[in-house]
């Protein structure tokens, strides 16, 4: 876990691409079941993470998804995508297209910077 507050927590997904997941602490099956505060916190986290991924990794595209078919609880995926990752242009859950050779900046400095940004800007009211 890289970040937590009283409403959400954020984890790293082990992948060849930058990929984070945002969860609510409360177990909700659907996004509409979340409180207004939870929904706003998720959107604020998505916004901050997307901007920081673009700044740091310079991906071709940012993908965001909320499925919950395998894990029937509210959570969001946010991924930096690259033309030469193993699955592009398919989703990361799709068919592998090639052996990826994306030259991606190291994740550790990004995570340390992101932790500080999230701690200072995701304020629970």
How many structural domains is the chain composed of?
Answer: 1
| pLDDT over 90 (residue 49) | yes
- Residues 6 or more apart whose CB falls under 8 angstroms from that of 52 comprise 110, 113, 114, 117
pLDDT score for 55: 98
CATH code (residue 16): 3.30.428.10
* Residue range(s) defining the domain that contains residue 23: 3-121
Task: Specify the higher pLDDT residue, 68 or 17.
Answer: 17
For residues 90 and 113, what is the distance between their CA atoms, to the nearest angstrom? 29
Average pLDDT over residues 87-109: 93
pLDDT digits (tens, 9 = 90+) for 65-91: 998 777 779 999 999 999 999 999 999
Average pLDDT over residues 20-35: 96
For residues 18 and 2, what is the distance between their CA atoms, to the nearest angstrom? 13
pLDDT score for 72: 79
């Amino acid at each position: 876990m890289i970040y937590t507050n009283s409403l959400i927590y954020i984890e790293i997904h082990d992948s060849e691409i930058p990929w984070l997941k945002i969860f609510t602490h409360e177990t909700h099956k659907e996004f509409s079941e979340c409180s207004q505060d939870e929904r706003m916190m998720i959107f604020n986290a998505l916004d901050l993470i997307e901007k920081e991924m673009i700044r740091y990794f310079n991906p071709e595209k940012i993908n965001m998804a909320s499925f919950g078919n395998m894990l029937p609880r509210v959570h969001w995926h946010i991924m930096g995508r690259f033309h030469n990752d193993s699955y592009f242009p398919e989703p990361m859950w799709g068919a592998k297209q090639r052996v990826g050779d994306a030259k991606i900046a190291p994740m550790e400095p990004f995570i340390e910077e992101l932790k500080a940004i999230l701690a200072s800007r995701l304020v629970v009211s």
